[in-house]
């Protein structure tokens, strides 16, 4: 990629694709680090989520942990602009429930099995299309009919 002006300056356009689930590792870790049941969660639900978290961490290769999706996208934006559809990013339901119960942003949480890459057609069959690169440096995220610029991670 052209580091001076981004991929858009050379006319290049790529599809942004992912394999795996965003935030699952971080959600599982946060769940296991939480000693008390969150106030808005029923005991049987929290028990189910802790069981999922324990199983997730047991099968995790802790050396392959990657930063959250937000950080991965921000890093991609250092090279090129992009448009990403937030709802197309694969998430595990349990991870979403844990993040909501603990007031965490699922897209900020670490992932263990998530891979992100830039591709052209034909696309890998085992990956999910979440967006496209575009001219310039704008990092635009679509959530339904609402679009916004991606903020720095942690903001």
pLDDT at 5 over 80: no
Mean pLDDT in residue range 85-94: 97
Q: How many CA atoms does the CB half-sphere of 108 hold within 13 Å? A: 13
Tokens of 127: 């990956």
For residue 2, the model assigns a pLDDT of 39
pTM of the model: 0.87
Report the percentage of the chain scoring pLDDT > 70.
92
- Specify the higher pLDDT residue, 107 or 13: 107
18 and 90 in contact (C-beta within 8 Å)?
A: yes
In the chain the first and final C-alpha atoms are separated, in Å, by: 27
pLDDT at 40 over 80: yes
pLDDT in tens, 114-134: 999 999 989 999 999 999 999
Q: How buried is 136 (Cβ within 10 angstroms: 0-12 exposed, 13-18 middle, 19+ buried)? A: middle
- Specify the higher pLDDT residue, 12 or 48: 48
For residue 60, the model assigns a pLDDT of 87
CATH class of the region 7-149: alpha beta
27 and 106 in contact (C-beta within 8 Å)?
A: yes
65 and 150 in contact (C-beta within 8 Å)?
A: no
Domain ranges of the chain: 7-149
Residue showing tokens 């921000």: 74
């Amino acid at each position: 990629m052209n580091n001076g002006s981004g991929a858009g300056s050379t006319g290049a356009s790529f599809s942004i694709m992912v394999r795996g689930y965003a935030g699952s590792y971080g959600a599982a870790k946060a769940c296991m680090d939480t000693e008390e049941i969150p106030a808005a969660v029923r005991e049987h639900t929290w028990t189910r989520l802790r069981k999922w978290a324990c199983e997730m961490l047991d099968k995790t290769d802790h050396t392959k942990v990657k930063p959250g999706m937000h950080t991965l996208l921000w890093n991609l934006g250092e090279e090129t602009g992009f448009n990403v559809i937030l709802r197309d990013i694969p998430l595990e339901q349990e991870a979403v429930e844990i993040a909501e119960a603990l007031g965490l942003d699922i897209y900020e949480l670490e992932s263990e099995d998530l891979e992100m890459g830039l591709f052209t057609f034909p696309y890998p069959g085992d990956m999910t299309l979440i967006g496209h690169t575009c001219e310039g440096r704008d990092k635009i995220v679509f959530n339904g009919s609402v679009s916004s610029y991606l903020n720095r991670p942690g903001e």
